[in-house]
Amino acid sequence: MSDTTQLDARRRRLLFRARHRGTKEADLIIGGFVARFIATFSESELDELEAVLEYPDVDLADWLSGRRPVPAECDSPMLRRIAADVAAMRRATGA
């Protein structure tokens, strides 16, 4: 199997995981972000995404909504990128 084929399969798995989190809110927020950007992610960004997807939905929902700050040990460029995207979407929709 070529590196490209493996990467494509990895992207498909990550997109599935992002869209099937367990809560509708997380499915929409995280799945939507991943669907929009996964084709552009480098391998290191895919690694970061995998790490973000390991966090429980309740924590991600609180962090991404701003209800709780992201703990320093969980902070990453990918989590900040998702949070910025969520904030932009909220501003755009007036939510």
Mean pLDDT over the full length of the chain:
90
pTM of this prediction?
Answer: 0.85
CATH superfamily for domain 3-93: Flavinator of succinate dehydrogenase (1.10.150.250)
Do 26 and 82 form a contact (C-beta atoms < 8 A)? no
Q: Is the pLDDT of residue 71 over 70?
A: yes
Dihedral of CA atoms 69, 59, 7, 84 in degrees, nearest 10, equals: -40
Which own/partner pairs from 79-87 qualify as long-range (CB within 8 Å, at least 24 positions apart)?
79/48, 79/52, 82/29, 82/30, 82/33, 82/52, 85/33, 85/36, 85/37, 86/29, 86/33
pLDDT at 78 over 90: yes
Tokens of 47: 């690694």
User: Could you state, in order of their start, the residue ranges of all structural domains in the chain?
Assistant: 3-93
Per-residue pLDDT reduced to its tens digit, 23-62: 888 889 999 999 999 999 999 999 999 999 999 999 998 9
Per-residue confidence (pLDDT) for residue 89, from 0 to 100: 86
